[in-house]
């Protein structure tokens, strides 16, 4: 009976409160600062940027040129634990921001399987040219407005306090287990 009450409490909690992504220090992005501080860089040279854990490369995220580095603004890594997807224990969200005349954002999502392998979701690219509270993002089943076994691709409108005001669903991805990122997969111990 305790198990039934626990399940009901978890369902009610996720319906009313929903989980959010939170910053993580378990994962890092390969050292961009050393590349940015390099004085002599060939403009045609490409720099590979990796997601790492415990100083081990997990997956290549992006290739950047000197021009890209000149426009580089910021990057962040966040995690959503227990997204309520089969065989997935967490979702990683890696965001790169570049500033030209507009802010260009590239957001990559990786599902972390129960076996600690990464599965890459389609990359989201978004450009905003004014101060905006609009975001292109994925919503997972454990989040507010999430749907069972479905990943929603949405444009969300937020108010000034970063509370979601409305969402427009662009695409529904029914979750099926997909192949892990083979090339750079690394089994790590937690």
Nearest to 90 by CA among 125, 119, 59, 52: 119
* Residue 159 token pair: 């108010």
Instruction: Note whether residue 186 is domain-resident.
Output: no
**H or E element that contains 2:** helix 2-16
| Per-residue pLDDT, 177 | 63
Place of tokens 């994962």: 27
Q: 42-62: per-residue pLDDT in tens?
A: 767 788 888 989 888 889 898
Scanning the structure block, which residue is given the tokens 């369902």?
Answer: 11
* Lowest mean pLDDT, pick from 16-25, 67-76, 110-119: 16-25
Tokens 């009313």 label which residue?
16
Please tell me the total count of domains within the chain: 1
**Is 179 a domain residue?**
no
Kindly state whether residue 135 falls inside one of the protein's structural domains: yes
Q: What is the pLDDT of residue 167?
A: 86
Is residue 190 in some structural domain? no
Confidence of residue 171 (pLDDT cuts 50, 70, 90): very high
Query: What size, in residues, is the chain?
Result: 190
82 exposure class (CB count in 10 Å sphere: 0-12, 13-18, 19+): middle
**Which domain covers residue 106, as residue numbers?**
2-174
Element (H, E) at 86: none
In a domain, 20, yes or no: yes
- 182 belongs to a structural domain: no
- The rounded distance, in Å, linking the Cα atoms of 56 and 64 is 20
Q: What is the pTM of this model?
A: 0.78
- Judge whether 30 lies within some domain: yes
Pick 135 or 106 by higher pLDDT.
106
The pLDDT mean for the chain works out to 79
Cα 156 from Cα 77, distance rounded (Å): 20
- What pLDDT score does 12 carry? 45
What pLDDT is recorded for position 68? 80
């Amino acid at each position: 009976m305790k198990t039934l009450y626990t399940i009901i409490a978890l369902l009610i909690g996720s319906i009313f409160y929903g989980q959010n992504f939170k910053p993580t220090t378990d994962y890092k992005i390969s050292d961009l600062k050393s590349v940015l501080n390099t004085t002599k860089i060939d403009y045609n040279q490409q720099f590979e940027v990796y997601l790492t854990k415990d100083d081990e490369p997990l997956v290549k995220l992006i290739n950047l040129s000197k021009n890209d580095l000149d426009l580089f603004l910021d990057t962040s890594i966040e995690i959503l634990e227990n997204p309520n997807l089969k065989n997935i224990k967490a979702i990683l969200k890696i965001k790169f921001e570049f500033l030209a005349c507009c802010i260009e954002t590239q957001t990559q999502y990786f599902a972390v399987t129960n076996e600690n392998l990464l599965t890459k979701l389609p990359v989201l690219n978004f450009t905003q040219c004014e101060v905006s509270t609009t975001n292109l993002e994925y919503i997972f089943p454990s989040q507010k407005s999430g749907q069972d076994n479905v990943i929603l691709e949405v444009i969300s409108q937020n108010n000034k306090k970063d509370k979601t005001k409305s969402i427009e669903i662009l695409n529904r991805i029914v979750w099926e287990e997909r192949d892990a990122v083979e090339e750079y997969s690394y089994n790590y111990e937690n």
